[in-house]
Chain A
Amino acid sequence: MSQQTFLYQPKVTEVLNNIRKVMIGKEEAALLSVVALLAKGHVLLEDVPGVGKTMLVKTLAKSLDCDFKRIQFTPDLLPSDVTGVSIYNPKTLEFEFRPGPILGNIVLADEINRTSPKTQSALLEGMEETSITVDGSTVQLGEPFFVMATQNPIEYEGTYPLPEAQLDRFLLKMEMGYPTPKQEMEMLARTSNSHPIEEISAVISREELVGLQKETAQVYVDRSVHRYIVDLVTGTRHHEGVYLGVSPRGSISLMKAAKAYAFVHDRDYVLPDDVQFMAPYVLGHRMILTSEARFEGKTSASIIEELLTATSIPVKRTTGE
């Protein structure tokens, strides 16, 4: 296989640079968001309010020349507020479809766990399919279609936790974390006059983004790396601290994420390193721990860490098989 040349790849760096202008010390979160975008997946951001979840999404959306929509989830939000609704137009004497926010290219679903499961599922369904059905008619979703949902940690009052089964609709789940004191000071300095987000502009067109996604899909994954992914995922199913292991969809997601990660690094093949890096974000929210493991203080992150240590890296070409 000859080495591929990626036409659009340099654009990725431009996007990341753009985000860096606004977000301070959130390189990893920015990178992961781009990875999910390229892998045609969706992201669940989980952290306390005020650490920059929304700002990240807004910055990303602004860097892309795409249709950006935002849904602020509240307990009284209805599914039709998400999908859109048909309204009777007295002039034309017809019902006219008013598209909901889900029909944008980049959708920010803020505080997704604050709304009722009914409304949540309206969004989650849309994430899984490429179209939604509103009032009996099928409406095609945008291309590209990228959802970034944020949620407060579930211990907080007045929330509707997402069912575990629906969580794996998200390719990645990540946390933002607090900035370091130095970063926070820098942040204060930058925002004293005007917010930097006002100063950035789009660097990628919608066509370029679609091209990037196509190129990402072409990244080569060797059988030895397949094996490594499967070993890792199988490990979650046999781990004694895991009640429900990662599904095969998890394997596919891990591979997709690793491909995108490799692509971001301008590589046309996936390394075990890519898989290792992506595994905690891709697999963490796809498994349920046993109560014993939880009482022992284990988290899905610590279990994935264990598995990564226990699984050997393939260092030879796979022959045959």
Chain B
Amino acid sequence: MQDRHSTVYRMILYGIGFLLFCEWLRPLEMISQTDDVRIFFIFAAFCFFVSFLQVPWYLSMPLKGLGVAFILDGLYIGELIFSPGWFAVLTEQVTFNIQMISGQEWWQMTPLFRSLLFLILLWLMSYLLYYWFVVARRMFFFVLLTILFVAVVDTFTVYDGSWAIIRTFVIGMAALGLSSFAKEMDKESIVFKGLHKAKVWLFPLIGVILFSSAAAYASPKFAPQWPDPVPYLESAAGGTGSGGGRTIQKVGYGEDDSQLGGSFVQDDTPIFTATIDGDRYWRIESKDTYTGKGWTDTLEQPVMTTDPFDIPFSTFTEEVETETQTAQIEMTRFASFRKLVYPYGLTSVGNLEGEFNLRVHSNTGEMDTYQGDAPAKISTAELTYEFPSFEYSQLRESGNNDPQEIRDQYLQLPENLPERVRNLASQIVEGEDNRYDQAKAVERYFSANGFEYSTTDVPVPGDDEDYVDQFLFESQIGYCDNYSTSMVVLLRSEGIPARWVKGFTGGERIDSVENEEGDGVQNVYEVTSGNAHSWVEVYFPDVGWVPFEPTQGFSNNADFYTDVDVEETEEDPAAGAADDTQDETMGNPQQVEEEDEASGNADAASSSGSTTFTAVLTGTVLLAAGILLYVTRYRWMAALLIRRYRRSEDEETYEKAYHFLLKVLNHKGLKRKPDQTLRDYALKVDQHFQSNEMRRLTSNYERVIYGNESQKTQWQKVTELWENLIKKTLS
């Protein structure tokens, strides 16, 4: 049916469609959590190519389906492709996600399912664009949509669309020029093949496009006529925090902690999996200087470049009882930082893929992973560590004789710390005679005084407000950063050296495996962005830094024990192994990562982040699927009905079949007016198809409905006529 248009011409049009569609994919990397959009580009290109070939559906469907399967396999599924296990994983994922969708818990959707939906969307788009561009040749709408899309994304997100808009303009111009040329050719019934006579249209078109885009690019432009719409929209919507310019952020590990506060959304992007004996906190670094708004690091130096097999860093002294344990970690491709996550007591890192060295910040414990002189991301590692167990009496009796160096570094407080914070600190520790009990008193203070754990509705301190002061006395609502910072500040104001530590909690246990020696079981934990956390380390002379966990809903999984030789004093409520379930019920601990440092305004699109994106994506896919089903409804209905009508032979079926044919004809533009008799109409239809089939069928049908005659004897012939007509109409 496209005989009039050469393959070359169709290819150009469809290629243009693909280029425009690419403009839709490009911003994904920036505005969503998509790590690598290349794979989607490749898949889209593949789909477009298959659609272009116009192979029958029974070829194109499996081809594209295979593409989807391979991508999912490569990205997410560890099993051998198409093995029973592979299907099991897929089925399980799909079932789970459908449950989540039906429960409207969009944020629970897994990356695999989201990717699956997205791939299907790309698939559908390839059909849709083929139809729009090549069959219907209506591309203006899509060009316009693309320009709008780029403009909106540019305005509301960090994506910089200045080149995208130029590309879209050029491509769109080319598309419109070509189509208008083709329409002109059609109108004049001029047939052209290949690039024959290309110079007649190609050069003028290129000239016009180049000239207009160059002129548009060079000409002066108005400055934005509106104020930046994002703050305006935010203020109109009521905003989230109390000013401060920051809105909602996304949870995850980030480097910049100088501005704490504000709400954030959950994110379950997996960062790494760990095979380890128990639930351990994963340390990354500590920070020492509290500014009143957040944390900065003044003790970055010294940095030692070391061999990963021998790590010269420990947070505790040799006085502490330890047990040697090992753990394997495997970072996912979503882990964006190039630092080592490690459990307390790390001594060596092995089994690295490639030559790595570590740059260890001996004060903060930050371990940058390098390959040569370049920061590099490790993929897997085996960690050997001395798991510490702190003895209660040792901690209680450690005294207050901190080294001068520790006092200088870890008692810092901002000068303008409100007095009431210091007063509160003295109140809390009143009556406790040793450092451990004082620290425990502060740790317990929050849960005992009605503080509320929440990741939303958390205010950002104003210019003249102190972050800790606001949390302790005003909001009393917050997440780990609020709790841990407050505890450090309270302890420091009582003269107890303490520091603020960042890392991840133990994550969710997803599996258990036998350990390498085969004599025990290790658990496999999945640690996600949502497990990012901050906690407190308190200095005890002769012992070193001991972790504390003030955040409600989290338990300190450092090991404490009472030496039987020593008089038993107190049962530590926080002692013992970790409590996985509590983590889950309370939502995950948080470390806030500012989404966009450059623009200052966290963007609206990423604010709702993956949840909205997923919802929109799902909606779009469902909608697209629905539209596709609707658009092709006559095709699949015809296929179904042909089968059904072959079987039954009564007048009612005949009537239905005939009326279905009328509908199909109507759909294809051969409309029957209500006052038009069937005979008249059949004549018109036959004139259109240049046959007499409709008249034959109709005269038969007339006998049935007006003549009250049975047409059983004619059934074979009638069915044949009907099928022919349906096929002819739909072709």
Set of chain B residues within 8 Å of A268, measured between Cβ atoms: 707
Q: Given A1-B707, A224-B705, A225-B706, A271 and B675 touching (CB < 8 A)?
A: no
CB A5 to nearest CB in B, in angstroms, measures: 14
Set of chain B residues within 8 Å of A2, measured between Cβ atoms: 709
Set of chain B residues within 8 Å of A310, measured between Cβ atoms: 675
CB B384 to nearest CB in A, in angstroms, measures: 83
CB B656 to nearest CB in A, in angstroms, measures: 9
Considering the complex, give the chain A residue whose CB is closest to the CB of B674: A312
Question: What does the 1/0 interface line of A257-285 toward B look like (CB < 8 Å)?
Answer: 00000000001111111001000000000
Set of chain A residues within 8 Å of B651, measured between Cβ atoms: 317
Q: Given A317-B651, A317-B655, A222 and B708 touching (CB < 8 A)?
A: yes
A24 touches B (CB below 8 Å):
no
User: Is the CB–CB distance between B675 and A313 below 8 Å?
Assistant: yes
User: Is the CB–CB distance between A222 and B655 below 8 Å?
Assistant: no
Set of chain A residues within 8 Å of B702, measured between Cβ atoms: 269, 271
Q: Given A222-B708, A224-B705, A269-B706, A312 and B675 touching (CB < 8 A)?
A: yes
A118 touches B (CB below 8 Å):
no
CB A257 to nearest CB in B, in angstroms, measures: 16
User: Is the CB–CB distance between B706 and A308 below 8 Å?
Assistant: no
Question: What does the 1/0 interface line of B231-260 toward A look like (CB < 8 Å)?
Answer: 000000000000000000000000000000
Considering the complex, give the chain B residue whose CB is closest to the CB of A309: B675
User: Is the CB–CB distance between B675 and A269 below 8 Å?
Assistant: no
User: Is the CB–CB distance between A272 and B706 below 8 Å?
Assistant: yes
User: Is the CB–CB distance between B679 and A271 below 8 Å?
Assistant: yes
Categorize the interface residue count of chain B.
10 to 19
Set of chain B residues within 8 Å of A316, measured between Cβ atoms: 655, 659, 705
Set of chain A residues within 8 Å of B705, measured between Cβ atoms: 222, 224, 314-317
CA of A308 to CA of B673, assembled, Å: 11
CA of A312 to CA of B707, assembled, Å: 19
Cβ < 8 Å to A, chain B residues 676-713:
676-680, 702-709
A243 touches B (CB below 8 Å):
no
CA of A314 to CA of B659, assembled, Å: 12
Set of chain A residues within 8 Å of B709, measured between Cβ atoms: 1-3, 269
Contact of A315 among B659, B707, B708 (CB under 8 A): B659
Considering the complex, give the chain A residue whose CB is closest to the CB of B662: A315
CA of A310 to CA of B674, assembled, Å: 8
Set of chain A residues within 8 Å of B676, measured between Cβ atoms: 313
Set of chain A residues within 8 Å of B706, measured between Cβ atoms: 222, 224-225, 269-272
Considering the complex, give the chain A residue whose CB is closest to the CB of B702: A271
Question: What does the 1/0 interface line of B492-505 toward A look like (CB < 8 Å)?
Answer: 00000000000000
CA of A319 to CA of B434, assembled, Å: 97
CA of A316 to CA of B702, assembled, Å: 10
Considering the complex, give the chain B residue whose CB is closest to the CB of A317: B705
A6 touches B (CB below 8 Å):
no
CB A220 to nearest CB in B, in angstroms, measures: 6
Set of chain A residues within 8 Å of B659, measured between Cβ atoms: 315-316
Considering the complex, give the chain A residue whose CB is closest to the CB of B651: A317
Set of chain B residues within 8 Å of A3, measured between Cβ atoms: 707, 709
Considering the complex, give the chain A residue whose CB is closest to the CB of B705: A317
Cβ < 8 Å to B, chain A residues 121-138:
none
CA of A222 to CA of B707, assembled, Å: 7
CB B653 to nearest CB in A, in angstroms, measures: 12
User: Is the CB–CB distance between A1 and B708 below 8 Å?
Assistant: yes
CA of A225 to CA of B651, assembled, Å: 18
User: Is the CB–CB distance between A220 and B677 below 8 Å?
Assistant: no
Considering the complex, give the chain A residue whose CB is closest to the CB of B703: A269
Set of chain A residues within 8 Å of B662, measured between Cβ atoms: 315
A311 touches B (CB below 8 Å):
yes
Considering the complex, give the chain B residue whose CB is closest to the CB of A223: B708
Contact of A273 among B655, B677, B703 (CB under 8 A): B677
Q: Given A315-B659, A316-B659, A317-B655, A220 and B707 touching (CB < 8 A)?
A: yes
CB A102 to nearest CB in B, in angstroms, measures: 38
Cβ < 8 Å to A, chain B residues 697-731:
702-709
Considering the complex, give the chain B residue whose CB is closest to the CB of A222: B706
CA of A295 to CA of B676, assembled, Å: 30
CB B181 to nearest CB in A, in angstroms, measures: 43
CB A131 to nearest CB in B, in angstroms, measures: 37
User: Is the CB–CB distance between A271 and B655 below 8 Å?
Assistant: no
Set of chain B residues within 8 Å of A1, measured between Cβ atoms: 707-709
Set of chain B residues within 8 Å of A267, measured between Cβ atoms: 707
Q: Given A269-B703, A271-B702, A313 and B677 touching (CB < 8 A)?
A: yes
Q: Given A1-B709, A3-B709, A317 and B704 touching (CB < 8 A)?
A: yes
CB A245 to nearest CB in B, in angstroms, measures: 19
CA of A23 to CA of B655, assembled, Å: 43
Q: Which of B655, B707, B708 has the most CB of A within 10 A?
A: B707
Question: What does the 1/0 interface line of A65-101 toward B look like (CB < 8 Å)?
Answer: 0000000000000000000000000000000000000
CB B665 to nearest CB in A, in angstroms, measures: 13
CA of A229 to CA of B101, assembled, Å: 56
CB B69 to nearest CB in A, in angstroms, measures: 48
CB A105 to nearest CB in B, in angstroms, measures: 32
Considering the complex, give the chain A residue whose CB is closest to the CB of B652: A317
Cβ < 8 Å to A, chain B residues 90-131:
none
Q: Given A269-B703, A313-B675, A315-B659, A220 and B680 touching (CB < 8 A)?
A: no
Considering the complex, give the chain B residue whose CB is closest to the CB of A221: B706
Q: Given A269-B703, A271-B702, A313 and B708 touching (CB < 8 A)?
A: no
Set of chain A residues within 8 Å of B655, measured between Cβ atoms: 316-317
Cβ < 8 Å to B, chain A residues 213-253:
220, 222, 224-225
User: Is the CB–CB distance between B707 and A269 below 8 Å?
Assistant: yes
Question: What does the 1/0 interface line of A277-321 toward B look like (CB < 8 Å)?
Answer: 000000000000000000000000000000011111111110000
Contact of A276 among B674, B677, B703, B704 (CB under 8 A): B677
User: Is the CB–CB distance between B677 and A272 below 8 Å?
Assistant: yes
CA of A316 to CA of B651, assembled, Å: 11
CA of A311 to CA of B705, assembled, Å: 18
CB A232 to nearest CB in B, in angstroms, measures: 10
User: Is the CB–CB distance between B708 and A271 below 8 Å?
Assistant: no
CB B452 to nearest CB in A, in angstroms, measures: 68
Cβ < 8 Å to A, chain B residues 334-374:
none
User: Is the CB–CB distance between B674 and A273 below 8 Å?
Assistant: no
CA of A273 to CA of B676, assembled, Å: 9
CB A227 to nearest CB in B, in angstroms, measures: 11
Considering the complex, give the chain B residue whose CB is closest to the CB of A314: B705
Q: Given A1-B708, A220-B708, A224-B706, A271 and B677 touching (CB < 8 A)?
A: yes
Contact of B680 among A224, A273, A309 (CB under 8 A): A273
Question: What does the 1/0 interface line of A19-48 toward B look like (CB < 8 Å)?
Answer: 000000000000000000000000000000
Set of chain A residues within 8 Å of B679, measured between Cβ atoms: 271, 273
User: Is the CB–CB distance between A269 and B708 below 8 Å?
Assistant: yes
User: Is the CB–CB distance between B678 and A313 below 8 Å?
Assistant: yes
CA of A271 to CA of B704, assembled, Å: 11
CA of A3 to CA of B710, assembled, Å: 10
Q: Given A269-B703, A271-B702, A311 and B678 touching (CB < 8 A)?
A: no
Considering the complex, give the chain B residue whose CB is closest to the CB of A276: B677
Set of chain B residues within 8 Å of A225, measured between Cβ atoms: 706
CB B702 to nearest CB in A, in angstroms, measures: 6
Considering the complex, give the chain B residue whose CB is closest to the CB of A310: B675
Query: What 8 pairs between A and B have smallest CB-CB spacing?
Result: A269-B707, A312-B674, A273-B677, A222-B706, A317-B705, A309-B675, A272-B677, A273-B679
Query: Given contacts A272-B706, A317-B708, could you give 20 more A-B pairs where the C-beta distance is less than 8 Å?
Result: A3-B707, A3-B709, A220-B708, A225-B706, A268-B707, A269-B708, A270-B706, A271-B679, A271-B706, A272-B678, A273-B677, A273-B679, A273-B680, A276-B677, A310-B675, A311-B675, A313-B674, A313-B676, A315-B705, A316-B659
A interface residue numbers (CB < 8 A to B): 1-3, 220, 222, 224-225, 267-273, 276, 308-317
B interface residue numbers (CB < 8 A to A): 651, 655, 659, 662, 674-680, 702-709
The contact sample of 15 A-B pairs, CB cut-off 8 A, is: A1-B708, A3-B709, A222-B706, A269-B708, A271-B677, A273-B677, A273-B679, A276-B677, A309-B675, A310-B675, A313-B678, A314-B705, A315-B662, A315-B678, A316-B705
